[in-house]
Structure 1
Amino acid sequence: MDQQTTTGIIPDAAPPTTASIEFGAARQLTTREANRVAMGALIGTALEWYDFFLFSAAAAIVFNVQYFATDNATAAALSSFATFGVGLAARPLGGLVFGHLGDRIGRRKVLMITIVGIGAVTGLIGMLPTYAAIGLAAPLLLVLLRIGQGLFVGGEWSGAMTIVVENSPLEKRAIYAAIPQIGSPIGTILSSGGFYLLALWMTQESFDAWGWRLPFLAAIPMLLVALYIRSRLEESPVFEELMEKGETAQSPVRETLGGYWRHILVGMAAGLLGIGGFYLVTAFVVWYGVNILEYDRTVMLLGGLVAAAVEIPVLILAGRAGARFGASKVILWGGLASAVLAWPSFLMIESGNPVVVVLGMTIAVASLSIPYAASGTILTGLFPAKYRYTGVGLAQNIAGMLSGFIPVIATALVATAANHWWPAAVMLVFLSLFTAFSALVSPRMSVNLPGFKH
């Protein structure tokens, strides 16, 4: 059976594509082939975000206790979130290294390297002794593993997005570019879901002692599955043609930074809300709810799960809207919607009613997911094929690096505001408007691709 009829993600069965997947690309793909590439990339990004969000959830409810021993809950949270941010700070370096390789030796080869690195590091975190066992070496090793995780993630998302859009027809690029983004809510469901089930099944003592390690160790068998699926991916026909013509970039990083630094900044702005806003509404809000509002941790984890489940159809619908109306319009209106809904969402989170709390988290995540769905389309459209892996990686990972410190900043600002939530809501409004502004600039800077709707 055709894969598209089973997923519901790619609408309208189609014969082999007749429009060029990219201007100048000779080899054409069928819809079935494009779907297979998209699904292979999705499996990898789901594992990537599972590992990364697993650390995010653990930073809020585990690492602050197990690795940063202090009687001050806020100080422990700041240390834990700072470790979370260090991994994101390493992402631009990973984007540079793997972007260079991806534009030189191929997208597929690099994606095999990054997925192995991410899974291996996450498994090692699950085996790491705690502060009580080995003292200061524990948080130091945790930071080093987090840096390694950040380096590999820095090359994973940009490669997955690049290979998907280069295997998709231009008129459906926005639809296909939304598919790797679904890896984010899937990763959230798996990571938060694992912690949620353990919280229901185990006592707090057992969870703190060893239970929290199980989701990290589960990354190892998941890696084997992802490796099998990803090994069946074919190289991007766009990159193959660059290789055949001898037109690959000699120094992708230097040439991209020299000629496309403005495009990198615009791409960073386009992706900032989807990453930073998500961390704000998940990592920070979970910590705030458990430690300041004294909610049960299962309520906050459930909020993350429901929000992630709702995010999946939002991403699919927003991707189709991008194909119909243009990706920049989706980012503009999605950013404005997120700004308008930020304050009501935090009021709901503050309410104390578990149902309303979960609804507030869901509304906030759903609104910021609208521009997130279209950000991959904008990012890949900002750079020509010979610099695309590098350019997309730099833009997305700079956004990721800045986003990593958003929970830290929110925690510090809320502490100075007598533990009131309003500084966090203001941050979400700012992020929303900043991303919306990028939509006004990006169409004028995008690569001229015939048939591509900006």
Structure 2
Amino acid sequence: MTNPVETADRRSLRRAFVASLSGTTLEYYDFAAYSVAAATLFGKLFFPSGDDLAGTMAAFSTYAVGYLSRPLGGFVFGRLGDVLGRKQVLVLTLLLTGIATFLIGLLPTHAMIGGYAAVLLVILRFAQGVGVGGEWGGAVLLSSEFGDPRRRGFWASAAQIGPPAGNLLANGVLALLALVLSTAQFESWGWRVAFLLSGVLVLFGLWLRMKLEETPVFKKIAERGEQPKAPVTEVFRNEPRALLAGVLIRICPDVLYSLFTVFVLTYLTTELDMPASAGLAVVMIGSAFQLFLIPASGALSDRINRRTMYLVGTIAAAIWPFVFFPMISGGSFIVIALGMVIALGIHAMLYGPQAALLTEQFSPRLRYTGSSLAYTLAGVVGGAVAPLVFTALLAGFGTWVAVAIYLAATAVLTTIGLLLARNPDADEFAVYESSESAAVSR
């Protein structure tokens, strides 16, 4: 006979998984649409200078703003998530990112209002980053705190599927628009459609999140009155090693993702003279494989040591660019697509277990704040500056080798983070088992 409590718990868990996945997909659709536009279009529309390199660098600078503002989101929304609860904060972050992206679609360009266009773009990009900075930690906890901590790698990976899913959706929409419209139409108004579509997607995400209950873990903390009064201060004072480990283990995957989803678009068009549509296509192919590889990697990390698996992925990330760039020098679309699938497969090996690994570094009552801060601070020194550094290294040295060495250096930092990190707390498993037994007895 099916236990009604168990059935309700499973239903809540599935609902949380879908809400976490869909919410981060929508937010990263917003973020990815900007990333693609920055690499291929915004330099011309918002930062015209007559110098393509300067325009691209300026566009990537606004890309970086979205990362630089993430810590603010981590501070503000991370604190609220540990004090007020996960659900309410996740509604706010979704609204903030979605509205900012929608407004980007309405922005006048440099040709219309001059330099003010760039200023407005930077402000909206900043707001995007704040929303995403507060989103990730809550989305991870939303799915993982409803389930068995022994399967946290899989359940927490729901939020991790969001970036490739959003990237796939954004690239697909922009590629379709570029295909059906002339170049003049796409540059004039077609690109705006991808940003305006965000308004519809946000309404769907809000509908899902409003139907959710608060997570069982936060309910228990609230019942005991154990919410932290100053979670940010407590994290820095009581859990500094966890914070440092969390930041370092995030850096290499962030830089790897920036290399193979943002910078590679510029490299293919400028160095190999390939059309932008080809670059978008290979990123979409790699992202499609990640939709399955990320949860599979998360599930695998529940069966083997998460830190060991992460170390193997980090070593592979350091090596692969030295293979990838020589193999694509001939400009073969099939070879480039294969290289991209492997590159983003390596990223999936890191990104799948990353959410569980990161949240496990912090105590449950500080988990939203701690994981949000680690996630966002790593983005500042990792993903924020990576496209700028890659572009500058390629321009300065004239070879991809400098780019590959830079990624390898970040792999060293992530390895140090793994040495500082800890394995899951066995006490959490005991608590889950006791609560599960109590639910069955009722």
TM-score interval, normalised by the smaller of the two chains: over 0.9
Give the CA deviation at 1:16. 8.1
Give the distance between the partners of 1:417 and 1:16, measured in 2 at CA: 65
Corresponding position of 2:205: 226
**Residue of structure 2 equivalent to 1:125:** 104
Residue of structure 1 equivalent to 2:429: 451
Q: Note the aligned Cα RMSD (angstroms).
A: 1.8
Q: Is the 8 A contact 2:66 2:128 kept in 1?
A: yes
CA contact (8 A) 2:30 2:198 kept: yes
Answer whether contact 2:244 2:417 (CA < 8 A) is retained: no
Displacement after TM superposition at 1:29 (Å): 6.5
- Cα offset, 1:440, TM superposition: 3.1
Match of 1:274 in 2: 253
* 2:421 aligned counterpart, secondary structure: helix
| Aligned counterparts of 1:425 and 1:350: Cα–Cα separation in 2 | 15
- 1:410 paired residue number: 390
Once the two structures are superposed, residues 363-382 of structure 1 have per-residue CA deviations (whole angstroms, 9 ceiling, x without a partner) of 11111220111111111111
Tell me how far 1:282 sits from its aligned partner. 1.3
- Once the 2 structures are TM-superposed, how far is the Cα of residue 15 of structure 1 from its aligned partner? 7.2
* Alignment partner, residue 316 of structure 1: 295
Deviation digits for residues 198-242 of structure 1 (CA, Å, limit 9, x no counterpart): 121111111111111110000000011111011111101111111
1:288-329 alpha-carbon deviations (Å, 9 max, x no partner):
211232211111000110010011221122111111002212
Which of these residues, 261, 266, 284, is aligned with residue 263 of structure 2? 284
CA gap 1:32/1:329 in 2 versus in 1, 3 angstroms = farther
Runs of 4+, deviation exceeding 3 Å: 14-18, 446-452
Which residue, 361, 373, 392 being the options, matches 2:371? 392
Question: How far, CA to CA, are the matches of 1:340 and 1:17 in structure 2?
Answer: 49
1:338 corresponds to 2:317? yes
> Where does structure 2 lack aligned partners over 5 or more consecutive residues?
431-442
Q: How does 1:23-102 map to 2 (within 5 A)?
A: 30-102=9-81
What's the offset of the Cα at 1:252? Answer: 0.7
Distance 1:400 1:351 in 2: 33
CA distance in 1, matches of 2:429, 2:231: 26
> What displacement does 1:17 show?
9.0
Q: Using the TM superposition, give the Cα deviation of residue 439 of structure 1 relative to its aligned residue in structure 2, in angstroms.
A: 2.7
2-side partners of 1:109 and 1:326: how far apart? 34
1:450–1:29 Cα change, 3 Å: farther
1:348–1:356: 8 Å Cα contact kept in structure 2?
A: yes
C-alpha contact (below 8 Å) 1:333/1:436 kept by paired residues: no
User: Could you tell me which residue of structure 1 aligns to residue 438 of structure 2?
Assistant: none
Output the TM-score relative to the length of structure 2. Answer: 0.93
Say which is worse superposed, 272-281 or 246-255, in terms of deviation. Answer: 272-281
Q: Partners in 2 of 1:442 and 1:137 — Cα distance?
A: 45
- Alpha carbons 1:94, 1:154 under 8 Å: kept: yes
Contact 1:103 1:389 in 2 (8 A): yes
TM-score calculated relative to the size of structure 1: 0.91
Map of 1:24 onto structure 2: none
SS at match of 2:301: helix
1:355 is matched with which residue? Answer: 334
The percent of aligned pairs where both chains have the same amino acid is 35
**What is residue 7 of structure 1 aligned with on the other side?**
none
Residue-pair matches, total: 428
Q: CA deviation at 1:73?
A: 1.0
Structure-1 separation of matches of 2:397 and 2:66: 28
Aligned to 2:244: 265
